[in-house]
Every structure is written in C-alpha cells, then in structure tokens.
Structure 1
Amino acid sequence: MFAVLPSARKVLQVLTLPIIALALAACDAVPGGGPSINTGAAVPVALLVPGGSGQTTDEILAQSLENAARLAMRDLNGATIDLRVYQTGGDANTAAAVAKQAVEEGAKIILGPVYAASANAVGNAVSGQNINVLSFSNNASIAGGNVYVLGPTFQNTADRIVGYATSQGKQRFVVVYGQDSAGTAGRDAISTAVQSQGASVVGSVGYALSQQDVIAAVPQIKEAVESNAADAVFMTTDTASALPLLSQLLPESGVSSETSQFMGLTRWDIPSQTLSLPGVQGGWFALPDPSASATFSAQYQSAYGGVPHPIGGLAFDGIAAIGALVSQGQSNALTGAALTQGAGFRGASGIFRLLPNGSNQRGLAIATISEAQVSILSPAPQSFSGLGF
C-alpha cells in the first residue's frame, strides 16, 4: 500500500516489493502558493520529458522518467493521478510552451523538466498561474518561487559528508576544486557546510581542467595540507575528470587518506573500475540509501525488463510526493506549504524533502572503499529527525 504515516515519529515499516513510496507524515500544512484541487477526482499532472530532441540519450532518459512515474502510480493509497506526458525536445523555449499548454489543459502541477534552463523557463512561464514545478534538475541556483529541484544537490551532499567527518574528529579541511562552474559551486557548498559545522577551511586549491594543470596543482595541495595541518582533503571532482589523476599523484607526493582523510563530493563507485584505483582506497563519499535504491531498481526491472536511468527515479519521487499528499483528501495538497512539509517523503532512493527555498534534502549514506569494495560507514537516515536534520 502507498501509505502516509500519521506522524513523523511513527516507526517506518519495512518495505517489500512492489511498495517503496510513501509520505513520512500527514499533510497538515496551511495553504501556500499553488492551486486548489479536487482530491475526489483524478488530479492532472504534467510530466515534461526531454523526448523529441533527436538525441538518443534524451529519448532513453525520457522513457525511463515516464516508466518510473507510471511505476509510482500503481498504488497511491486511494489517490488518482491523470498523468499527461509532454515532450520538450530538451529545449527551454519548447519546455515553456508545452508547460503553458499543459496548464491550459488542466494540469495542477508540473513534474520536470530535466535541464536547468528549461526548468527555469517553465517556472517563469507558469508562475502567474499559481502552478508549482517539481523539476528534475539538481541546480539549486534555479530553485525558488514556484520551482523546486528534485535532483541531489552539492549542498546536501556536502552537509552530510562534513557532518560525518566532524563527528569523526575532522576539523581542518583543504578543498580541491576544478575551476569550472560545477567545481566552484562544489567548493562553495563545501565551505558553507564546513562553516555550519564549526570546522575550518584551512586551504583551497583550484586547477584548470587539463592534465597539466592537475599535475601542477599537486604540490600546492601538498603545501596546503602540510602547512595548515589539515586532517581532511575534500575534492569536488568526479571519476570522469581529475579524480583518477589526483588519487594517484597525491599519495605519491605523501598525501593520502592515512595522513589527511580524502573525501569526495561525487560518487566514487561509478563506474565500477574506479574502485580499483589505489588512491581512492579509504576515501569517503556519499550515496543514496542502498537498500531503497536496490528495491526501486528491482521493481523497475521487473516491470520494464531493463535498468532505470540514473536519474529516472526522480520521476518516481515526484509522483510519490504528489500521490501521498493528494491521498490526504485536502484541496491544498499541491501548495508550496504542503509540498515542503518537514517530515518529507520516501521515494526511489530513500527519504527526501523539499525545502521552502526550492532546494531539497535527501537521506544519504556515507561509504568508503576498501580492497576495491564499497562498504557503508554510516547508513542513510530513515527519518529527518536525526543525523543533523
């Protein structure tokens, strides 16, 4: 059963297939920005996907998002959703146009689109019509007003990792970041997280995105660590960029997790070949609740015969939240106040909640790598009452 728990303090039940989506508390929020709905009838929900762009990757993603949304609709605890799918072609102008069309055709909330520019355009296009947008973007800079981002954010990840690190006694951080928009956004998220935990960023080393510049940054990182007695090195890079090189060269220079704990803002277990890199052994990173993620993946494969796209589960999450709120039978179920109820929801990769500023928090596990295997150091929280939430 797709169920809503009556209280944030109620113990969560063990979930078995095919049930993994529920709200963590009843919706008792006061009305905010958003439409009034008739919960006794099917609620029209517009799903905006990047199909129609001509790009194979967009078509695969579009299908996975629709599949995941329909998977979540199988049992909504009495709520009924009328899912209407619109293709954006991955284009911001098209996304804005179909969003307007969807609202004219009766949509009460918009789920999607994927890309930040498109999500921003959609939010602007329907802002005067009292419609909220649950986008699949992870770019918190577009969040706010009637636009919410469902994608995992740098800030949420940084907060979780730094919270764990300080609980293990780490207090002096050196931040290593790529000098592009993602890298600098990651650097800022880490700095904010460190400050909020009462720890210190004692050094910050950036590098241009070239092999030569990464190599040149290694002595600077070593100097920053040693001269400031840093006990943690927090890297923004991912496995497709500088992580393989940094994880090789830093230990060769005398800096490793044995001397100053390595940690990463991105997942170090994807692709699996990364796990065999000597330099990442003992490093820390965050990942979604492994149990919930495995349950969703098994559901999806059973229903559709293939694995979901890495962000396909966000559509499941959106329907999970909408369905759980609508099932309460309140006309204000899709207002901003209802969507941001503090106890949050449970979806494809564990607990999550939307924040009044349009961003989100997700319950993440802390993992490490040992002998090319991932092990969990701190499990994902099962409610927002612990682990610093």
Structure 2
Amino acid sequence: MAQAPRSRGVVVPAVLICTTALSGCVGTDRVARKRPPPAPVAVAEAPLEPAAGPALAGERIGSGSVKVALVVPLTGQGASVGAALRNAAQLAYDEGQQPDLTLLVEDDGGTPAGAASATERSLKAGADLVLGPLFAGNVRAASVPARAAGKPMIAFSTDVGVASRGIYLLSFLPQPEVSRIVEEEVASGRRSFAALIPETAYGNAVEAQFREAVTNRGARVAAIERYPAGAPGEAVKRLSGVITGPRATADVLFIPETADGLPAVAAALTGAGFSPAKVRPVGTAPWNEPALFALPALQGGRFAAPDRGGFAGFSARYQARFGAIPPRVASLAYDAVMLSATLTRQFGTQRFAEPTLTSASGFAGLDGTFRFSPEGTSDRALAVYEIRNNAVSVVSPAPRVLGKPGLAAVAPQ
C-alpha cells in the first residue's frame, strides 16, 4: 500500500457474489465454467472461537506441506491493518477446505528493514511464496531476498512502481479504475474531458493514465488543472470557463480525490456555479464513501470500484469470527490465501510458476475477477456506480470475464 488514499467501501444492498468456499471463490475461469456457481457458504452453526489475541512473529497457521509466508506489520506503523490481514488469512485458511498449506506469519514492524528480515526468515523456513508486505517501501526491500531465492511475491501495495516480474500486486490499483470510468463515459457518448487533480502522490499516479485512457478511446482532454492538497479554489476558478456556464466545453469532469479531500473540491465547485447535470463529475474508488453521497456537486456523478457484494459477505463472516469490522484491504489477504490454496490443489509443482500466476483468464476473488500481468501489475473487473439522491447504485456491473490481456479497461456485460 502506498501511503496515499484510503479506499473505503460503501454499504449498499448488493447480491452476494463471492462468499463461497475455496472452489468457488478463487479459481481459474476454466474451472469455473465446468460447473454452475456454487452456493454461498453458510456461517458455521456452532459459534467460532474468538480471536486468540495479536499474532506474533513466527506464528504458524495450518500444517500443510506447502509453505506460504504472510509478511505484514503486526507492530509499528500499520499494525492494526496488519492484524486484520492476518485475521483474514486465518479466515481464508479455515474456509479453504483443508488446504495443504502452512502459513508462516512474520511481522515486518512496518519498516523496510523489518520487511527484508521477515522475508528472509520465512524463506529460510521454506516458504515457496510470499504474501505481502503492505507498504511500498517494504515491498521494495522484501523483494531483494525474494528475488535472490527465486520465489514470487504477491504484495498489497497500491504503488505500481514496486511491481515487476515476480513481484505481483494484489491491490486496488487506481489505473484500472481510471480506464474503466473513462471507457464508460465514452461509451455513453461523452467526448470532452476536463480534470481537477490534486498535487499528491495519488494525483501523480492517475494523471498519465487519465490522459492515455481518454486519447486511446478517441476522446479529447479539454483542460487539466492541478491544485495543492486541500486548496482547490484557485484551480476551480481557472477551470471555470471549461466546466461552468452556457459555453462549457467539457461534458465530463474527472476528480481523482480521496474521501478526505473531496468535500473541499465539491464545495469549491458549488461555489463556482458548477452543475453536475451539465458536466458529469467522475472519479475512482475513494469516492465509495457514504459521507460523500450527499454533496450537491456529486449528484449524478459516477465512479469505478470493485463490486461490493463479495466484501459484504466476507465482512459479515469476519465480524462473526473476530468481533470487529475489517478494513477494506483485509479482503486482499483472504484472496491471496485462497489463491495459494487453489493453485496448490490444481497445479502441483507449477502452482506458483509465472505462467500459472499470470494466466490470462485470471481468478475469481471476493472483489471480482482479477489477473496479474507478467510485469507485476494487476487488472480487475470493476463496476461503475452512480451517486443519486444521497445514495449509490450500480449503473454498469463488473463483468465476470476480463477483456484483452494487458488492458486495464473492461467492457461491461
């Protein structure tokens, strides 16, 4: 995870798409087509034991022959998120139909040095795959011993700069979200895009993808204005001739902001006379926050994000087991463990080989279909949501199958 935006989910009514056990939650499309979708897993009739307390470095989950490391912060920076990732991994193991795995839980202390040491310990203990770390700098440090040992890593950072061959990111990357929302708007007939982009790491990450996505789909970038984090007023004024008034030249306004920063942007837009009925505001997964849905400037706005159905079921089961609401990223550890179990069961000695991990058909997880590229980034099947009347609804569901390999954009079903 880059130390950047939070992407929190919204609790909306949704169809449960992935609360299934191992065979239905993570697996190749080839396997899924051979049988109808499995029924949702029922929560155990007998109450599950509560969490035993914070995990310690060196903890082992399971006793299978295939060893997989889980390197997360259990102390230091990010410890609360790391504990949730550990719990989600435990839940996946318990629901995984007795997978032939041993999870080696290692604490990286929230630091690059700690991540490198934790990874080295797990590799010496026989790990064939490393899940984690969470932060970009920790992934970069941990990748050194992983590469030296010739073992792949599935990390949880959102910084594509740390992805590379053998170092895969199973995370909510902003680039596919940008491509998905631009594609949806072009498909609806809109051709002129303006953008208000914060001068942050997140803004830097999405600007190039925004320009590329608009150009590749035959649309035009009417104007882009950048602004200091938390101070969008002057940028809105500079953009006013493009997005306000009877002669507005844009029909879409792209705002890649975090949930914390979006209210200030919305207020500045409203103050400048912006009408979302004339120029549609669009964004990415950080918009998926209930507190934002009443902002006048966002009514009719749209954003791309993972389908909420699978996470809703996972969250309910997590709360029943651990007595707490999981952070949004906890599903990543669940999917990573389920993926490890499925590949171990289906592919034998080739379970973690590059051709297996980079299968073009991808895998079905809690948050929808995903796949890894050979360069380490990931594509996701994303839904498009619309904000209306202080709530959200799906206007374009996440597809079950991803499009052409290598393209982040996904055509709706």
TM-score with structure 1 setting the length? 0.87
Structure 1 residue 207: deviation in Å?
Answer: 0.9
Identify the residue that residue 302 of structure 2 maps to in structure 1.
284
Q: 1:94 to 1:68 in 2, by over 3 A?
A: same
Structure 1 residue 348: deviation in Å?
Answer: 2.4
Select the residue among 341, 356, 359 that pairs with 1:338.
356
Select the residue among 373, 386, 390 that pairs with 1:368.
386
Identify the residue that residue 176 of structure 1 maps to in structure 2.
196
Whether 2:237 is the aligned partner of 1:219: answer yes
Q: 1:250 to 1:12 in 2, by over 3 A?
A: farther
Whether 2:71 is the aligned partner of 1:48: answer yes
Structure 1 residue 228: deviation in Å?
Answer: 7.0
Whole-Å separation in 2 of the counterparts to 1:190 and 1:6: 33
Structure 1 residue 6: deviation in Å?
Answer: 3.6
Q: 1:18 to 1:2 in 2, by over 3 A?
A: farther
Select the residue among 143, 150, 154 that pairs with 2:163.
143
What does the per-residue CA deviation read over 1:232-253, in whole Å, with 9 as the maximum and x for residues that have no partner? 1001112211x21221232342
Structure 1 residue 75: deviation in Å?
Answer: 4.1
Identify the residue that residue 121 of structure 2 maps to in structure 1.
101
Select the residue among 338, 343, 346 that pairs with 1:328.
346
For structure 2, which runs of at least 5 residues remain unmatched after alignment? 1-20, 44-62, 405-409
User: Which letter does structure 1 place at the counterpart of 2:380?
Assistant: R
For structure 1, which runs of at least 5 residues remain unmatched after alignment? 20-39
Tell me the percent identity: 28
Q: Contact 1:365/1:379 (CA < 8 Å) preserved in 2?
A: yes
What does the per-residue CA deviation read over 1:317-349, in whole Å, with 9 as the maximum and x for residues that have no partner? 111211111111421110121111112122222
Instruction: Tell me how large the CA RMSD over aligned residues is.
Output: 2.2
Whole-Å separation in 2 of the counterparts to 1:380 and 1:86: 34
Whether 2:312 is the aligned partner of 1:294: answer yes
Q: Contact 2:319/2:325 (CA < 8 Å) preserved in 1?
A: yes
Q: Contact 1:267/1:286 (CA < 8 Å) preserved in 2?
A: no
Match runs of 1:199-210 below 5 Å: 199-210=219-230
Structure 1 residue 90: deviation in Å?
Answer: 0.4
Structure 1 residue 225: deviation in Å?
Answer: 3.5
User: Which letter does structure 1 place at the counterpart of 2:241?
Assistant: E
Whole-Å separation in 2 of the counterparts to 1:338 and 1:288: 24
Structure 1 residue 107: deviation in Å?
Answer: 0.4
Whether 2:100 is the aligned partner of 1:80: answer yes
Q: 1:235 to 1:170 in 2, by over 3 A?
A: same
Whole-Å separation in 1 of the counterparts to 2:403 and 2:199: 36
Whether 2:277 is the aligned partner of 1:251: answer no
Structure 1 residue 159: deviation in Å?
Answer: 1.2
Q: How many residues align?
A: 362
Whole-Å separation in 2 of the counterparts to 1:14 and 1:279: 41
Whole-Å separation in 1 of the counterparts to 2:411 and 2:35: 19
Match of 2:259, SS state, is coil
Q: 1:192 to 1:77 in 2, by over 3 A?
A: farther
Whole-Å separation in 2 of the counterparts to 1:359 and 1:173: 26
User: Which letter does structure 2 place at the counterpart of 1:349?
Assistant: D
